[in-house]
Protein backbone atom coordinates (compact mmCIF):
# COMPACT_ATOMS: atom_id res chain seq x y z
CA UNK A 1 0.00 0.00 0.00
CA UNK A 2 1.14 3.52 -0.76
CA UNK A 3 0.95 6.75 1.18
CA UNK A 4 -2.54 7.63 -0.09
CA UNK A 5 -3.79 4.62 -2.04
CA UNK A 6 -4.66 1.43 -0.19
CA UNK A 7 -6.06 -1.83 -1.54
CA UNK A 8 -9.35 -0.09 -2.34
CA UNK A 9 -8.36 3.36 -3.56
CA UNK A 10 -7.64 6.69 -1.85
CA UNK A 11 -9.95 6.89 1.14
CA UNK A 12 -10.30 9.28 4.08
CA UNK A 13 -12.48 11.82 5.83
CA UNK A 14 -13.75 14.38 3.32
CA UNK A 15 -11.76 17.65 3.40
CA UNK A 16 -9.61 16.31 6.25
CA UNK A 17 -7.44 13.48 4.94
CA UNK A 18 -8.98 13.46 1.45
CA UNK A 19 -9.43 17.00 0.14
CA UNK A 20 -10.66 18.69 -3.01
CA UNK A 21 -7.03 19.58 -3.76
CA UNK A 22 -6.18 15.88 -3.70
CA UNK A 23 -9.04 15.14 -6.09
CA UNK A 24 -8.02 17.94 -8.44
CA UNK A 25 -4.46 16.61 -8.58
CA UNK A 26 -5.67 13.06 -9.19
CA UNK A 27 -7.67 14.42 -12.12
CA UNK A 28 -4.76 16.49 -13.41
CA UNK A 29 -2.44 13.49 -13.38
CA UNK A 30 -4.88 11.02 -14.96
CA UNK A 31 -5.81 13.50 -17.69
CA UNK A 32 -2.12 14.02 -18.46
CA UNK A 33 -1.21 10.32 -18.18
CA UNK A 34 -3.84 9.10 -20.62
CA UNK A 35 -3.55 12.05 -23.04
CA UNK A 36 0.23 12.27 -23.46
CA UNK A 37 1.79 10.95 -26.65
CA UNK A 38 -1.52 10.85 -28.54
CA UNK A 39 -3.37 13.15 -30.89
CA UNK A 40 -6.91 12.53 -29.63
CA UNK A 41 -8.17 13.27 -26.13
CA UNK A 42 -8.41 10.68 -23.39
CA UNK A 43 -11.93 9.49 -22.45
CA UNK A 44 -12.58 9.02 -18.74
CA UNK A 45 -15.87 8.11 -17.07
CA UNK A 46 -16.85 9.08 -13.52
CA UNK A 47 -19.50 7.68 -11.16
CA UNK A 48 -20.31 8.63 -7.58
CA UNK A 49 -22.28 7.41 -4.59
CA UNK A 50 -24.82 9.41 -2.60
CA UNK A 51 -22.53 11.10 -0.04
CA UNK A 52 -22.86 14.87 0.17
CA UNK A 53 -19.12 15.26 -0.48
CA UNK A 54 -19.27 13.20 -3.69
CA UNK A 55 -20.45 16.26 -5.63
CA UNK A 56 -17.48 18.44 -4.70
CA UNK A 57 -15.05 15.62 -5.43
CA UNK A 58 -16.74 15.00 -8.79
CA UNK A 59 -16.33 18.65 -9.81
CA UNK A 60 -12.73 18.75 -8.55
CA UNK A 61 -11.84 15.66 -10.58
CA UNK A 62 -13.58 17.10 -13.64
CA UNK A 63 -11.63 20.35 -13.32
CA UNK A 64 -8.34 18.49 -13.12
CA UNK A 65 -9.12 16.09 -15.96
CA UNK A 66 -10.37 18.69 -18.42
CA UNK A 67 -7.52 21.06 -17.54
CA UNK A 68 -5.14 18.29 -18.60
CA UNK A 69 -6.98 17.74 -21.86
CA UNK A 70 -9.24 14.75 -21.13
CA UNK A 71 -12.92 14.42 -22.02
CA UNK A 72 -15.06 13.40 -19.05
CA UNK A 73 -18.31 11.40 -19.11
CA UNK A 74 -20.52 11.61 -16.02
CA UNK A 75 -22.61 8.62 -14.95
CA UNK A 76 -23.79 10.57 -11.88
CA UNK A 77 -25.00 8.42 -8.95
CA UNK A 78 -24.25 4.83 -9.80
CA UNK A 79 -22.53 1.71 -8.48
CA UNK A 80 -18.84 0.82 -8.58
CA UNK A 81 -19.45 -2.28 -10.75
CA UNK A 82 -21.41 -0.19 -13.24
CA UNK A 83 -18.36 2.05 -13.75
CA UNK A 84 -16.25 -1.05 -14.30
CA UNK A 85 -18.77 -2.37 -16.84
CA UNK A 86 -18.99 0.90 -18.78
CA UNK A 87 -15.19 1.31 -18.90
CA UNK A 88 -14.49 -2.15 -20.29
CA UNK A 89 -17.45 -2.34 -22.66
CA UNK A 90 -17.30 1.16 -24.17
CA UNK A 91 -13.60 1.75 -24.78
CA UNK A 92 -12.82 4.28 -22.06
CA UNK A 93 -9.23 4.86 -20.97
CA UNK A 94 -10.14 4.58 -17.33
CA UNK A 95 -12.94 5.05 -14.84
CA UNK A 96 -13.20 6.80 -11.49
CA UNK A 97 -15.66 5.93 -8.74
CA UNK A 98 -16.16 8.41 -5.91
CA UNK A 99 -17.10 6.36 -2.86
CA UNK A 100 -16.00 5.17 0.55
CA UNK A 101 -18.01 1.96 0.16
CA UNK A 102 -19.40 0.87 3.56
CA UNK A 103 -17.80 3.73 5.54
CA UNK A 104 -19.91 6.47 7.21
CA UNK A 105 -21.09 9.48 5.19
CA UNK A 106 -18.31 11.84 6.30
CA UNK A 107 -15.67 9.63 4.66
CA UNK A 108 -15.16 9.42 0.94
CA UNK A 109 -12.76 7.88 -1.53
CA UNK A 110 -11.47 7.73 -5.08
CA UNK A 111 -11.30 4.34 -6.79
CA UNK A 112 -9.48 4.27 -10.12
CA UNK A 113 -10.48 1.59 -12.61
CA UNK A 114 -8.30 0.57 -15.54
CA UNK A 115 -9.40 0.38 -19.17
CA UNK A 116 -10.06 -3.35 -18.70
CA UNK A 117 -12.47 -2.68 -15.83
CA UNK A 118 -10.04 -3.82 -13.13
CA UNK A 119 -8.45 -1.92 -10.26
CA UNK A 120 -5.67 0.34 -11.50
CA UNK A 121 -2.18 -1.08 -11.19
CA UNK A 122 0.01 0.13 -8.36
CA UNK A 123 2.60 1.80 -10.60
CA UNK A 124 0.10 4.41 -11.83
CA UNK A 125 -1.08 5.03 -8.27
CA UNK A 126 2.53 5.50 -7.17
CA UNK A 127 3.01 8.15 -9.85
CA UNK A 128 -0.18 9.92 -8.72
CA UNK A 129 1.14 9.98 -5.16
CA UNK A 130 4.44 11.40 -6.39
CA UNK A 131 2.57 14.17 -8.22
CA UNK A 132 0.42 14.97 -5.19
CA UNK A 133 3.54 15.35 -3.07
CA UNK A 134 5.25 17.60 -5.62
CA UNK A 135 7.93 15.07 -6.57
CA UNK A 136 6.75 14.33 -10.11
CA UNK A 137 7.33 17.70 -11.72
CA UNK A 138 5.00 20.07 -13.53
CA UNK A 139 2.20 18.82 -15.76
CA UNK A 140 1.29 21.08 -18.70
CA UNK A 141 -2.10 22.73 -18.88
CA UNK A 142 -4.24 22.06 -21.93
CA UNK A 143 -5.01 25.22 -23.91
CA UNK A 144 -7.38 26.36 -26.66
CA UNK A 145 -9.01 23.43 -28.44
CA UNK A 146 -7.04 20.92 -26.35
CA UNK A 147 -9.05 21.67 -23.20
CA UNK A 148 -11.35 18.77 -22.37
CA UNK A 149 -15.12 18.85 -22.11
CA UNK A 150 -17.76 17.15 -19.97
CA UNK A 151 -20.68 15.06 -21.20
CA UNK A 152 -23.74 13.76 -19.34
CA UNK A 153 -23.53 9.99 -19.72
CA UNK A 154 -26.44 8.61 -17.71
CA UNK A 155 -27.10 6.42 -20.75
CA UNK A 156 -24.09 4.34 -19.71
CA UNK A 157 -25.78 3.53 -16.40
CA UNK A 158 -28.94 2.54 -18.24
CA UNK A 159 -26.95 0.17 -20.45
CA UNK A 160 -25.56 -1.45 -17.33
CA UNK A 161 -29.11 -1.96 -16.03
CA UNK A 162 -29.97 -3.62 -19.34
CA UNK A 163 -26.90 -5.84 -19.05
CA UNK A 164 -27.92 -7.06 -15.60
CA UNK A 165 -31.46 -7.81 -16.78
CA UNK A 166 -30.06 -9.82 -19.71
CA UNK A 167 -28.18 -12.14 -17.34
CA UNK A 168 -31.32 -13.52 -15.67
CA UNK A 169 -32.25 -17.04 -16.79
CA UNK A 170 -35.86 -16.95 -15.57
CA UNK A 171 -38.60 -14.53 -14.69
CA UNK A 172 -38.84 -13.57 -11.01
CA UNK A 173 -42.62 -13.45 -11.19
CA UNK A 174 -44.24 -14.68 -8.00
CA UNK A 175 -41.16 -14.12 -5.85
CA UNK A 176 -41.34 -11.59 -3.02
CA UNK A 177 -37.92 -9.94 -2.78
CA UNK A 178 -36.68 -7.39 -0.27
CA UNK A 179 -33.91 -4.92 -1.09
CA UNK A 180 -31.97 -2.82 1.42
CA UNK A 181 -30.21 -0.18 -0.69
CA UNK A 182 -28.26 1.34 2.25
CA UNK A 183 -29.37 4.82 1.06
CA UNK A 184 -26.50 4.45 -1.38
CA UNK A 185 -25.75 3.80 -5.03
CA UNK A 186 -28.07 0.80 -5.36
CA UNK A 187 -31.11 3.07 -4.94
CA UNK A 188 -30.73 4.19 -8.58
CA UNK A 189 -30.46 0.68 -10.04
CA UNK A 190 -31.52 -2.33 -7.95
CA UNK A 191 -35.31 -1.89 -7.88
CA UNK A 192 -35.41 -1.19 -11.63
CA UNK A 193 -33.67 -4.51 -12.30
CA UNK A 194 -35.91 -6.60 -10.05
CA UNK A 195 -39.09 -4.88 -11.23
CA UNK A 196 -38.12 -5.51 -14.86
CA UNK A 197 -37.65 -9.20 -14.10
CA UNK A 198 -41.13 -9.47 -12.62
CA UNK A 199 -40.37 -9.68 -8.89
CA UNK A 200 -42.72 -8.39 -6.22
CA UNK A 201 -40.08 -5.94 -5.01
CA UNK A 202 -40.06 -4.45 -1.51
CA UNK A 203 -37.46 -1.75 -0.85
CA UNK A 204 -36.12 -0.19 2.33
CA UNK A 205 -33.45 2.49 2.92
CA UNK A 206 -33.84 3.88 -0.56
CA UNK A 207 -34.15 7.59 0.22
CA UNK A 208 -30.62 9.06 0.29
CA UNK A 209 -30.12 12.58 1.61
CA UNK A 210 -26.33 12.73 1.42
CA UNK A 211 -25.90 12.03 5.12
CA UNK A 212 -27.67 8.69 5.69
CA UNK A 213 -25.63 6.37 3.47
CA UNK A 214 -24.81 3.17 5.45
CA UNK A 215 -26.35 4.70 8.59
CA UNK A 216 -28.01 1.86 10.50
CA UNK A 217 -28.83 0.14 7.21
CA UNK A 218 -27.45 -1.97 4.39
CA UNK A 219 -25.09 -4.94 4.54
CA UNK A 220 -23.32 -3.64 7.66
CA UNK A 221 -26.61 -3.43 9.62
CA UNK A 222 -28.47 -6.35 8.11
CA UNK A 223 -30.60 -6.95 11.23
CA UNK A 224 -33.19 -4.52 9.87
CA UNK A 225 -33.59 -6.49 6.65
CA UNK A 226 -33.84 -9.72 8.68
CA UNK A 227 -36.80 -8.31 10.57
CA UNK A 228 -38.37 -6.90 7.40
CA UNK A 229 -38.14 -10.22 5.50
CA UNK A 230 -39.76 -12.20 8.32
CA UNK A 231 -42.50 -9.67 9.09
CA UNK A 232 -43.50 -9.36 5.43
CA UNK A 233 -43.21 -13.04 4.52
CA UNK A 234 -40.65 -12.44 1.79
CA UNK A 235 -38.89 -15.22 -0.08
CA UNK A 236 -35.49 -13.56 0.22
CA UNK A 237 -33.83 -10.23 0.92
CA UNK A 238 -30.63 -8.61 -0.35
CA UNK A 239 -28.60 -5.93 1.45
CA UNK A 240 -25.99 -3.81 -0.33
CA UNK A 241 -23.29 -1.44 0.88
CA UNK A 242 -22.84 2.19 -0.14
CA UNK A 243 -21.44 1.57 -3.62
CA UNK A 244 -23.19 -1.81 -4.13
CA UNK A 245 -20.08 -3.84 -4.82
CA UNK A 246 -20.97 -6.22 -2.01
CA UNK A 247 -24.11 -8.10 -1.06
CA UNK A 248 -25.33 -10.14 1.85
CA UNK A 249 -28.68 -11.89 1.84
CA UNK A 250 -31.41 -12.92 4.25
CA UNK A 251 -33.21 -16.22 3.65
CA UNK A 252 -36.92 -16.92 4.06
CA UNK A 253 -36.42 -17.75 7.75
CA UNK A 254 -34.53 -14.55 8.51
CA UNK A 255 -31.09 -16.15 8.60
CA UNK A 256 -28.14 -14.10 7.29
CA UNK A 257 -26.60 -15.52 4.12
CA UNK A 258 -23.04 -14.24 4.40
CA UNK A 259 -20.44 -14.15 1.66
CA UNK A 260 -19.25 -17.63 2.66
CA UNK A 261 -22.75 -19.06 2.31
CA UNK A 262 -23.16 -17.29 -1.03
CA UNK A 263 -19.91 -18.89 -2.24
CA UNK A 264 -21.21 -22.30 -1.18
CA UNK A 265 -24.67 -21.96 -2.74
CA UNK A 266 -23.35 -20.62 -6.04
CA UNK A 267 -20.24 -22.82 -6.11
CA UNK A 268 -22.24 -26.00 -5.51
CA UNK A 269 -24.75 -25.02 -8.20
CA UNK A 270 -22.03 -24.18 -10.71
CA UNK A 271 -20.43 -27.59 -10.08
CA UNK A 272 -23.77 -29.31 -10.76
CA UNK A 273 -24.17 -27.33 -13.98
CA UNK A 274 -20.63 -28.05 -15.18
CA UNK A 275 -19.76 -24.34 -14.94
CA UNK A 276 -17.22 -24.46 -12.09
CA UNK A 277 -13.97 -24.11 -14.01
CA UNK A 278 -11.13 -26.05 -12.35
CA UNK A 279 -13.69 -27.26 -9.79
CA UNK A 280 -12.38 -24.46 -7.58
CA UNK A 281 -13.78 -21.56 -5.54
CA UNK A 282 -11.42 -18.77 -4.42
CA UNK A 283 -11.76 -17.56 -0.81
CA UNK A 284 -9.68 -15.49 1.60
CA UNK A 285 -7.99 -16.74 4.76
CA UNK A 286 -10.91 -15.27 6.75
CA UNK A 287 -13.53 -17.61 5.29
CA UNK A 288 -15.14 -19.86 7.88
CA UNK A 289 -13.95 -23.41 8.53
CA UNK A 290 -17.54 -24.54 8.03
CA UNK A 291 -17.39 -23.45 4.39
CA UNK A 292 -14.34 -25.60 3.73
CA UNK A 293 -15.88 -28.64 5.41
CA UNK A 294 -19.03 -28.20 3.29
CA UNK A 295 -16.93 -27.95 0.11
CA UNK A 296 -14.98 -31.05 1.11
CA UNK A 297 -18.27 -32.94 1.49
CA UNK A 298 -19.30 -32.24 -2.13
CA UNK A 299 -15.84 -32.48 -3.67
CA UNK A 300 -15.26 -28.80 -4.47
CA UNK A 301 -11.69 -27.50 -4.27
CA UNK A 302 -10.80 -24.08 -2.87
CA UNK A 303 -7.93 -21.65 -2.73
CA UNK A 304 -7.18 -19.11 0.00
CA UNK A 305 -5.78 -15.62 -0.62
CA UNK A 306 -4.89 -12.68 1.56
CA UNK A 307 -7.82 -10.54 2.75
CA UNK A 308 -9.09 -8.21 0.01
CA UNK A 309 -11.14 -8.74 -3.13
CA UNK A 310 -8.13 -7.44 -5.08
CA UNK A 311 -6.20 -10.57 -4.14
CA UNK A 312 -9.18 -12.82 -4.85
CA UNK A 313 -9.50 -11.40 -8.35
CA UNK A 314 -5.77 -11.66 -9.03
CA UNK A 315 -5.90 -15.36 -8.15
CA UNK A 316 -8.95 -15.89 -10.36
CA UNK A 317 -7.28 -14.23 -13.35
CA UNK A 318 -4.01 -16.11 -12.92
CA UNK A 319 -5.71 -19.49 -12.63
CA UNK A 320 -8.86 -19.11 -14.71
CA UNK A 321 -11.28 -19.61 -11.81
CA UNK A 322 -14.91 -18.50 -12.24
CA UNK A 323 -16.09 -17.60 -8.74
CA UNK A 324 -14.44 -16.15 -5.65
CA UNK A 325 -15.07 -13.72 -2.86
CA UNK A 326 -14.98 -12.66 0.74
CA UNK A 327 -17.12 -13.38 3.77
CA UNK A 328 -18.12 -9.69 3.76
CA UNK A 329 -20.06 -10.20 0.52
CA UNK A 330 -17.62 -9.11 -2.20
CA UNK A 331 -18.40 -11.88 -4.68
CA UNK A 332 -16.80 -11.99 -8.13
CA UNK A 333 -18.26 -13.92 -11.06
CA UNK A 334 -15.40 -13.54 -13.53
CA UNK A 335 -17.46 -14.58 -16.56
CA UNK A 336 -19.66 -11.52 -16.09
CA UNK A 337 -17.64 -8.93 -14.14
CA UNK A 338 -14.14 -7.89 -13.14
CA UNK A 339 -15.10 -6.70 -9.65
CA UNK A 340 -17.49 -7.56 -6.87
CA UNK A 341 -21.05 -6.70 -7.88
CA UNK A 342 -23.79 -6.82 -5.26
CA UNK A 343 -26.74 -6.71 -7.65
CA UNK A 344 -25.20 -9.34 -9.94
CA UNK A 345 -24.67 -11.54 -6.87
CA UNK A 346 -28.38 -11.15 -6.05
CA UNK A 347 -29.32 -12.27 -9.56
CA UNK A 348 -27.10 -15.35 -9.36
CA UNK A 349 -28.65 -16.35 -6.03
CA UNK A 350 -32.13 -15.91 -7.54
CA UNK A 351 -31.05 -18.14 -10.43
CA UNK A 352 -30.08 -20.96 -8.05
CA UNK A 353 -33.36 -20.66 -6.11
CA UNK A 354 -35.46 -20.70 -9.27
CA UNK A 355 -33.57 -23.47 -11.07
CA UNK A 356 -33.38 -25.71 -7.98
CA UNK A 357 -36.94 -24.83 -6.90
CA UNK A 358 -35.75 -24.59 -3.30
CA UNK A 359 -35.77 -21.77 -0.74
CA UNK A 360 -32.44 -20.20 0.22
CA UNK A 361 -32.73 -21.66 3.74
CA UNK A 362 -32.59 -25.15 2.22
CA UNK A 363 -29.80 -24.36 -0.24
CA UNK A 364 -27.51 -23.00 2.50
CA UNK A 365 -28.38 -25.72 5.01
CA UNK A 366 -25.28 -27.95 4.44
CA UNK A 367 -22.92 -25.26 5.77
CA UNK A 368 -22.40 -25.23 9.53
CA UNK A 369 -20.80 -21.90 10.37
CA UNK A 370 -18.34 -22.29 13.24
CA UNK A 371 -18.34 -19.67 16.00
CA UNK A 372 -15.55 -17.19 15.47
CA UNK A 373 -13.83 -14.71 17.78
CA UNK A 374 -11.43 -11.99 16.67
CA UNK A 375 -9.30 -9.95 19.08
CA UNK A 376 -6.89 -7.09 18.32
CA UNK A 377 -3.79 -7.04 20.49
CA UNK A 378 -1.60 -3.93 20.55
CA UNK A 379 2.10 -4.72 20.10
CA UNK A 380 5.22 -2.53 19.78
CA UNK A 381 6.37 -4.24 16.56
CA UNK A 382 4.00 -6.37 14.49
CA UNK A 383 6.70 -8.17 12.49
CA UNK A 384 8.79 -8.94 15.58
CA UNK A 385 5.69 -10.16 17.43
CA UNK A 386 4.79 -12.65 14.71
CA UNK A 387 8.37 -13.93 14.57
CA UNK A 388 8.70 -14.28 18.36
CA UNK A 389 9.34 -17.91 19.38
CA UNK A 390 6.94 -17.68 22.34
CA UNK A 391 4.11 -16.47 20.12
CA UNK A 392 4.77 -19.14 17.52
CA UNK A 393 4.81 -21.82 20.22
CA UNK A 394 1.49 -20.59 21.63
CA UNK A 395 -0.09 -20.60 18.16
CA UNK A 396 1.23 -24.12 17.47
CA UNK A 397 -0.16 -25.36 20.80
CA UNK A 398 -3.62 -24.00 20.02
CA UNK A 399 -3.47 -25.46 16.51
CA UNK A 400 -2.76 -28.92 17.91
CA UNK A 401 -5.46 -28.61 20.57
CA UNK A 402 -8.11 -27.62 18.01
CA UNK A 403 -7.17 -30.31 15.51
CA UNK A 404 -9.73 -30.71 12.71
CA UNK A 405 -12.48 -29.04 14.75
CA UNK A 406 -11.17 -25.51 14.64
CA UNK A 407 -8.40 -23.21 13.51
CA UNK A 408 -6.40 -20.18 14.58
CA UNK A 409 -5.23 -17.34 12.37
CA UNK A 410 -2.78 -14.71 13.62
CA UNK A 411 -2.00 -11.82 11.28
CA UNK A 412 -0.95 -8.16 11.45
CA UNK A 413 -3.33 -5.27 10.86
CA UNK A 414 -2.55 -3.49 7.63
CA UNK A 415 -3.06 0.01 9.05
CA UNK A 416 -2.95 -0.13 12.88
CA UNK A 417 -0.44 -1.33 15.54
CA UNK A 418 -2.38 -4.52 16.14
CA UNK A 419 -1.90 -8.22 15.71
CA UNK A 420 -5.25 -9.84 15.04
CA UNK A 421 -5.94 -13.20 16.71
CA UNK A 422 -8.86 -15.12 15.22
CA UNK A 423 -10.10 -18.51 16.40
CA UNK A 424 -12.88 -20.70 15.02
CA UNK A 425 -14.05 -23.62 17.12
CA UNK A 426 -17.08 -25.71 18.00
CA UNK A 427 -18.27 -23.36 20.76
CA UNK A 428 -17.94 -19.70 21.77
CA UNK A 429 -16.32 -20.83 25.03
CA UNK A 430 -13.52 -22.66 23.23
CA UNK A 431 -12.98 -19.63 20.97
CA UNK A 432 -12.58 -17.32 23.98
CA UNK A 433 -10.22 -19.73 25.74
CA UNK A 434 -7.92 -20.20 22.74
CA UNK A 435 -7.88 -16.52 21.78
CA UNK A 436 -6.81 -15.61 25.31
CA UNK A 437 -4.04 -18.22 25.30
CA UNK A 438 -2.32 -16.45 22.42
CA UNK A 439 -3.38 -12.88 23.28
CA UNK A 440 -1.77 -13.11 26.73
CA UNK A 441 1.56 -14.05 25.16
CA UNK A 442 1.33 -11.17 22.66
CA UNK A 443 0.34 -8.66 25.33
CA UNK A 444 3.38 -9.57 27.42
CA UNK A 445 5.88 -8.74 24.67
Give which of 230, 217, 234, 227 is closest to 180, Cα–Cα: 217
Q: Which of 7-11, 80-84, 246-250, 400-404 has the lowest mean pLDDT?
A: 7-11
Query: Cβ contacts of residue 378 below 8 Å, gap of 6+?
Result: 417, 418, 443
- Assign 218 a pLDDT band (cuts: 50, 70, 90): very high
Concerning whether 101 is annotated as a catalytic residue, the answer is yes
- Span 109-142, pLDDT tens digits: 999 999 999 988 889 999 999 999 999 989 999 9
- Assign 274 a pLDDT band (cuts: 50, 70, 90): very high
- Assign 308 a pLDDT band (cuts: 50, 70, 90): confident
The C-alpha atoms of residue 15 and residue 51 are separated, in whole angstroms, by 13
* Residue 101 labeled ligand binder: yes
- Span 327-342, pLDDT tens digits: 999 999 999 999 999 9
Average pLDDT over residues 57-78: 98
- Span 169-193, pLDDT tens digits: 999 999 999 999 999 999 999 999 9
pLDDT at 212: 98
pLDDT above 70 (res 432): yes
Average pLDDT over residues 196-216: 98
Average pLDDT over residues 255-282: 98
Average pLDDT over residues 388-408: 95
- Span 349-362, pLDDT tens digits: 999 999 999 999 99
* Residue 346 labeled ligand binder: no
The C-alpha atoms of residue 54 and residue 83 are separated, in whole angstroms, by 15
The C-alpha atoms of residue 202 and residue 216 are separated, in whole angstroms, by 18
Over the chain, what is the mean pLDDT?
95
Query: Cβ contacts of residue 400 below 8 Å, gap of 6+?
Result: none
Map out the domains of the chain with their CATH numbers.
5-156 (3.40.120.10), 168-363 (3.40.120.10), 372-443 (3.30.310.50)
pLDDT above 80 (res 100): yes
pLDDT at 1: 57
Phi, psi of 336 (to 5 degrees): -115, -20
pLDDT at 415: 67
Average pLDDT over residues 237-258: 97
pLDDT at 6: 84
pLDDT at 235: 98
- Work out whether the CA dihedral 91, 195, 325, 79 comes out positive or negative: positive
Query: Cβ contacts of residue 269 below 8 Å, gap of 6+?
Result: 351, 352, 355, 356
Q: What is the dihedral of CA 289, 294, 297, 301, to 10 degrees?
A: -70
- Assign 51 a pLDDT band (cuts: 50, 70, 90): very high
* Residue 241 labeled ligand binder: yes
* Residue 243 labeled ligand binder: yes
Q: Which of 35, 53, 101, 287 is catalytic?
A: 101
Amino acid sequence: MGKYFGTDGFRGEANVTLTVEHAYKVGRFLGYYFSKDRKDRARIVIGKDTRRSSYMFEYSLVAGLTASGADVYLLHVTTTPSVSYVVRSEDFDCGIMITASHNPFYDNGIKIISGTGEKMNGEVENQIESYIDGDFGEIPMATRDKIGRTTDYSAGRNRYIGYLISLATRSFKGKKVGLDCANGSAFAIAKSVFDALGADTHVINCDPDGLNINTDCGSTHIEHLQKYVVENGLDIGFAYDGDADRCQAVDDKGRIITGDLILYVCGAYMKEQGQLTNNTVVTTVMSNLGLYKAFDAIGVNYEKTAVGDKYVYENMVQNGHRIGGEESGHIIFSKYATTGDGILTSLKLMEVMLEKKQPMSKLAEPVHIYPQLLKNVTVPDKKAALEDARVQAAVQKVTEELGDEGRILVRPSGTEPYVRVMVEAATDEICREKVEQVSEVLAAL
